[in-house]
Amino acid sequence: MEYFIELFFSGLTRGSIYALIALGYTMVYGIIQLINFAHGEIYMIGAFTALIVTGVLTYYGWPHLAIILIAAVLAIFYSAAYGWTMERIAYKPLRDAPRLSALISAIGASLFLQNYVLLAQTSDFLPFPSLISDFAFLDPVSNLFGTTDFLIYTTTGVVMALLTFLIKFTRVGKAMRATAQDRHMAMLVGIDVNRIISITFIIGSATAAIGGVLIASHVGQINFFIGFIAGIKAFVAAVLGGIGSLPGAVLGSLVLGWTEAFFTGYVSSDYEDVCAFVILVIILIFRPSGLLGRSGVQKV
Amino acid sequence: MKRYASKRCLAAILVCVAVFAFSGVGLAQDTIKLGVAGAHSGDLASYGIPSIRAAELVTKDINAKGGILGKKIELLLGDDACKPELATNVATKLVSDGVNVVLGHICSGATKAALNIYASASIPVMSPSATNTELTLSGDYPNFFRTIAYDDLQARLQVSFARDVLKVKRVACLHDKGDYGKGQSTLAKQFFEEAGIEVVLFEGVTPGAVDYSAIVQKIKRENVDLVVWGAYHPEASKIVTLMRKKKMDTPFMGADGIKDETFIKVAGEFAEGVFATGPRDNTKNPLFIAAKKAHQDAFGEDPGVFFPEAYSATLALLNAIEKAGSTDFDAVTKALRSEYVDTPVGSISFDQNGDAIGIGFSVYQVKNGVFTTIQ
């Protein structure tokens, strides 16, 4: 039973990491039905920004807490700026083009950002400092989860709650929902659709940056390629949960994380991905629109 | 055209060497003939050319001092392009030209094909680069020696270290499912089992995954004495960090894939005490530095791959002839197995199988943030 609980928390960590990235994925998809493949790269850029800021501030001997806060805030701003620019350059001109063109453009943006960081920084792994000192009150459960795991759980929960609140109860959220339902109709009733889409990208990128900082300090190392693998897994999780649904993204991520952890724990880690994708296929056969996705009528 | 050119070049070298030899001693029979065989043209020429250069540099030195046993050294080149079928032709040609000892061949497959021909003519052969385990350990080729570590050596070293020094009973072998990682781990598992040590966990983890706590929990539950990691350093640093954070003090050992400064940089304080095997460091050996400098002076560039091994092999062969007092097969092989010779890869001799003693891999441990040699 103890082993089961240990594996449960291992899966919770993995799932929450996927969820932090999947939230941004699913939000962008919900608004403009675009699979933003470059989302993982925004996450990676967030981590790199935090690393650079930390390095500079540590050099000047700033206090620890200030470094964390400034690094996180700058990472969020910088990633959000990237998200906004990317939308302007790579997606907006293709707004009325076939959906496949926008998808190719997304893959292009992803490769561009990866190679840009590869050339501007390095291909080697860089150590990411553990910015957050261990919480003493977590010491009794350190065999289950550590400080960074704990922060990832709580942040995932808070981000999901905030985003749900934003979409359900604010004016911007209402405009987002309207844009998601019918972009032309939303325009007709006076919603600045371009602005709403930009805001969506900015918010999605900001969540990716939060994920980048937290996950990098959990893993302890970053390189230019981390966004790709994490992005693919998060995308799978978002589809599993029902793409476009915020609670769905979190649920899908947790299901994926637990599947991998329990399979590793009780069977073998050699086939954890195989098992995870078998589960994905089975769930999609019975619920084609994902666990919490709405099976809406396809617009013709 | 290229073939033709290289043949002419080869002929020119032979003529030069021959003229030199004639002028020194006067009689063609009074030279010691050193065959240099391997890939001198084609895709893999970059593996073979350094051995020619090494042989040239060594023989030039020795001939300038009057040769050995009063005879000058003559080089006979043979190009097998790394192909087994050409290697047998090269070997037959060298044997009929009356070669005394052979430096080569370069590729394991070509070496294997040529060895029987040399064996029937009683000629000792020493390769600077053929790493196939069978070549020495099978015992089929008593005339074969090499100055490079064989493929399995690293895994065997890990196992003997774990058994004799760490005295482990249960180990977990982990890898990243890749060619290098899985190959390394499979060998380690096989040798651990042969040594009577239980391998309770043999698994591949997904490289690049965001979190490895599930596999770490599994290691903890199996209660092993040692974790043997077969693959590269990024996953190793993640796993060892998680293990230490979960207050597990199980020793962790990796191979040359983690013996990299980045591992220590990334894992930081958690890298402390980690074991790693890796190639022995020769760069501070004065003979290595001298050989490298000689190459730079003569050819205007840094030496290629296997140059130090080829340089050492040439030295070892010629030293053995000198110590044996003749080119007789039994005397020379006996001298190779009993005499130590100082070379760029260290002070070496050869064991019964023909593998060099004193080369290969060392065990390192991270102490105060640097890899320190402990065995």
Number of neighbouring beta carbons within 10 Å of residue B317: 28
Average pLDDT over residues A173-192: 91
Instruction: List the one residue out of A248, A262, A289, A287 whose CA is nearest residue A22.
Output: A248
| Residues B218, A264: C-beta atoms closer than 8 Å | yes
Between A298 and A142, whose confidence is greater? A142
Mutate to test the interface with A, among B213, B227, B258 (most CBs of A within 10 A): B213
Could you tell me whether strands B341-343 and B125-127 are parallel, antiparallel, or unpaired per DSSP bridges?
unpaired
Q: Residue B172 pairs with which residues in a beta bridge?
A: B201, B227
A260 to chain B, any CB pair closer than 8 A? The answer is yes
- Give whole-number Cα distances, A180 to A29, A33, B285, in Å: 9, 8, 70
A114: in domain: yes
Closest-CA residue of chain A to B176:
A270
Tokens of A4: 């089961």
**Which residue did the predictor score with more confidence, A140 or B3?**
A140
In whole angstroms, give the CA distance from residue B217 to residue B171.
Answer: 15
Decide if A86 is inside a domain. Answer: yes
Q: Which two tokens stand for residue A195?
A: 């602005």
Q: Please give, rounded to a whole number of angstroms, the shortest distance from the CA of B225 to a CA of chain A.
A: 18
Domain B153-280+360-373, architecture per CATH: 3-Layer(aba) Sandwich (3.40)
Give the minimum alpha-carbon distance from A229 to chain B in angstroms, rounded to a whole number.
Answer: 7
CA distance from start to end of chain A: 52
CB of B348 closer than 8 Å to CB of B356:
yes
Question: Is A41's Cβ below 8 Å from some Cβ in B?
Answer: no
Subunit contact B238:A269, Cβ cutoff 8 A:
no
Structure confidence by residue, pLDDT tens digits, A246-278 = 999 999 999 999 999 999 999 999 988 898 889
Contact residues on chain A for B217, CB-CB shorter than 8 A: 3, 6-7, 10, 265
pLDDT score of B28: 45
Q: Taking chain B (375 residues) in consecutive chunks of 10 residues, what is each chunk's mean pLDDT? A: 55 53 48 93 88 94 90 93 92 94 92 93 93 88 92 89 93 90 90 94 90 92 93 91 90 90 89 91 88 93 90 94 92 93 91 88 91 86
Residues B246, A125: C-beta atoms closer than 8 Å:
no
Q: Is A8 on the interface with B (CB under 8 A)?
A: no
* Residue B100 backbone phi and psi in degrees, to 5: -95, -45
Show which of residues 179-198 on chain B sit within 8 Å of chain A, judged by CB atoms: none
Residues in A touching B234 (Cβ below 8 Å): 125, 221, 223
Write down the pLDDT at residue A33: 86
What local confidence, expressed as pLDDT, does residue A63 receive? Answer: 86
Residues from chain A contacting residue B237 (CB–CB below 8 Å): 125, 220-221
Contacts of residue A149 in chain B, CB cutoff 8 Å? Answer: 213
Distance CA B109, CA B86 (A): 11
Domain boundaries, chain B: 2-148+306-344, 153-280+360-373
Domain-located, residue A251:
yes
Using CB atoms, which residue from A142, A268, A270 is nearest to B247? A142
Answer whether B227's CB lies under 8 Å from B174's CB: yes
Indicate the helix (H) or strand (E) that contains B350: strand B346-350
Locate tokens 């010691």: which residue? B32
**Strands B361-367 and B198-204: what pairing?**
unpaired
Tell me the residues of chain B between 299 and 328 that have a Cβ less than 8 Å away from chain A. Answer: none
Q: At A258, which helix (H) or strand (E)? A: helix A246-266
Q: Does B214 touch chain A (CB under 8 A)?
A: yes
> What pLDDT digit, counting tens, does each position of A201-238 carry?
999 999 999 999 998 988 888 989 899 888 889 999 99
A212: left (phi over 0), alpha (psi -120 to 50) or beta: alpha
Pick the CATH number of B2-148+306-344 from 3.40.50.2300, 3.40.50.720, 2.60.120.460, 3.30.460.80: 3.40.50.2300
Four-point Cα dihedral A185, A189, A191, A193, nearest 10: 20
> For B126, phi and psi rounded to 5 degrees?
-135, 120
Q: Does B112 touch chain A (CB under 8 A)?
A: no
Q: Looking at beta carbons, which residues of chain A come within 8 Å of B233? A: 125
Nearest CA in chain A to B201: A268
pLDDT digits (tens, 9 = 90+) for A26-70: 999 888 888 899 999 999 999 999 999 999 998 898 888 889 899
Q: Does residue B162 contact residue B168 with C-beta atoms inside 8 Å?
A: yes
Domains of chain A: total: 1
Which pLDDT does position A44 carry in this prediction?
Answer: 94
Task: Tell me whether residues A269 and B203 touch, CB distance under 8 A.
Answer: yes
Residue B33 token pair = 């003939």
Residue A251: give the domain boundaries. 2-286
The predicted complex's ipTM stands at: 0.88
Answer whether A230's CB lies under 8 Å from A40's CB.
yes
Q: Helices marked H in A33-131 — which ranges?
A: 39-59, 64-86, 99-120
Residues of chain B contacting residue A21, judged by C-beta atoms under 8 Å apart: none
Residues of A in contact with B258 (CB under 8 A): none
Chain B residue numbers with beta carbons less than 8 Å from the beta carbon of A140 are none
Q: What is the pLDDT of residue B26?
A: 38
**Residue A132 distance to chain B (closest CA, Å):** 14
Residue with tokens 């399979």: A263
Mean pLDDT (chain A, rounded): 90
With respect to residue A294, please indicate whether it lies within any of the assigned structural domains.
Answer: no
Chain B residues within 8 A of A230 when measuring between CB atoms: 210
Tokens of B169: 């009973």
pLDDT above 90 covers what percent of chain A?
A: 60
- pLDDT greater at residue B368 or residue A142: B368
Residue at A295 is within a domain: no
> If contacts are CB pairs under 8 Å, which of residues 105-124 in chain A contact chain B?
124
B209: contact with A, CB 8 A cutoff: yes
**Chain A closest CA to B186's CA: distance in Å?**
14
Asked if the Cβ–Cβ distance from B206 to A261 is below 8 Å, we say no
Indicate which CATH number applies to the domain containing A250. Answer: 1.10.3470
Establish if A191 touches chain B: CB-CB under 8 angstroms. no
Asked whether residue A296 is domain-assigned, the answer is no
The CA distances from residue B128 to A128, B84, B131, B313, in Å, are 41, 17, 9, 6
Q: CB distance from B223 to chain A under 8 Å?
A: no
